[in-house]
Amino acid sequence: MRATAIAHPNVALAKYWGKRAIPGNVPATPSISVSLGGLQTRTTVELDPSLTKDVLTLNGALADSTRASALLDEVRALAGITAFARIESHNDFPTASGLASSASGFAALARAAVTAMGVSVDDRELSRIARRASASAARSVFGGFVALGTEDNAAAEPVESAAHVTVVVAAVTLGPKLQSSTSGMEHCRATSPYYDAWVADAPRVAAEIRAALAAGDLERVGVAAEASALRMHACMMASAPALLYFQPATLDLLARVRALRAEGVAAWATIDAGPHVKVLCAPRDATRVAEKLAPSAVRTIIAHVGGPARVVE
């Protein structure tokens, strides 16, 4: 009746931004991500028949459990259990800041919940449960490089990669972000004149990244990943009112990545729904990249490719 799981956040090389269906949380664009091994969420689920509702503690503080409870309801239905749960979750990186805490958070929660309630599901089914809570979490069920499609019943799946990639995370602020991905993407769909073009173009970019990973071509991966991120942000900035996640340091960091390339270092940037910049590079260049980014960041983290969501206790 109690289990603890850990999961890593992931960063999408091909971005998910927009929902094809809101019930069921189905993405409008296919995405491909890499697991960030240097960062982690640790979540414990403990069923307690004396509780009258689920209680969520996030980094030691009581938090709204609506989304977590919806996930637990699915698992309770599968298990035939009605008891509520105490959920304790800790991130070793800034929460809700655009460093993808919902991905690792819901993947760890899904893994811990099925274990605590004795439900046996395969990884694809676990990924669907995580997707309905937060689509990027579907990808954090798996380690390494992972793809998520746009079909009604989409589950993430591992993708072959012959490319060796390290991600240097350059955090710009440690505070919470301005707008959640969920509401930001709906605002974008409703008001951005570029939204349809973004959705139409995304499958080509995802196919290019998949082919480049299979071919082990880091440059092709990087060029396409940077394009995916900047096109997503162009779509956001064209919303009314504009959805602008960039801060001055974000542009500084983009300039530093260009300077690295001019110096002959293979490095490409990606940016999620927040101001932070994540830089893809070869593992041997990670220290040099981190040193170059450091003056414009409050913190840099070198993340080597991480493993799947797993039970630890």
Q: Which residues contact ligand DP6 (rule: CB under 6 A)? A: 12, 15-17, 25, 31, 100, 102, 134-136, 181-182, 272-273
Q: Give the Cα separation of 287 and 301 in Å (integer).
A: 10
Residue number, 134 or 250, with CB nearest to ligand DP6 = 134
Q: Give the Cα separation of 248 and 57 in Å (integer).
A: 33
Asked whether the CA dihedral 59, 183, 231, 254 is positive or negative, the reply is negative
> Closest separation between CB of residue 242 and ligand DP6, Å?
16
Strand 55-58 with 85-91, pairing: parallel
> Closest separation between CB of residue 17 and ligand DP6, Å?
6
> Closest separation between CB of residue 180 and ligand DP6, Å?
7
Q: Give the Cα separation of 33 and 17 in Å (integer).
A: 13
Q: Check if the beta carbon of residue 187 is closer than 8 Å to that of residue 241.
A: no
Phi then psi for residue 184, to 5 deg, are -60, -45
Residue number, 168 or 202, with CB nearest to ligand DP6 = 202
Phi then psi for residue 207, to 5 deg, are -65, -40
> Closest separation between CB of residue 25 and ligand DP6, Å?
5
> Closest separation between CB of residue 152 and ligand DP6, Å?
15
> Closest separation between CB of residue 276 and ligand DP6, Å?
11
Residue number, 115 or 136, with CB nearest to ligand DP6 = 136
Residue number, 14 or 260, with CB nearest to ligand DP6 = 14
> Closest separation between CB of residue 166 and ligand DP6, Å?
18
Residue number, 87 or 236, with CB nearest to ligand DP6 = 236
> Closest separation between CB of residue 150 and ligand DP6, Å?
12
Residue number, 202 or 293, with CB nearest to ligand DP6 = 202
Residue number, 100 or 218, with CB nearest to ligand DP6 = 100
On the CB side of 99, CA atoms within 13 Å amount to 28
- What amino acid occupies position 304? H
Measured CA distances, 179 to 96, 101, 184, 272 (Å): 10, 14, 6, 12
- Nearest C-alpha neighbor of 167 from the set 27, 24, 290, 15: 290
Q: Give the Cα separation of 38 and 218 in Å (integer).
A: 20
Residues 6+ apart with CB under 8 A from 251: none
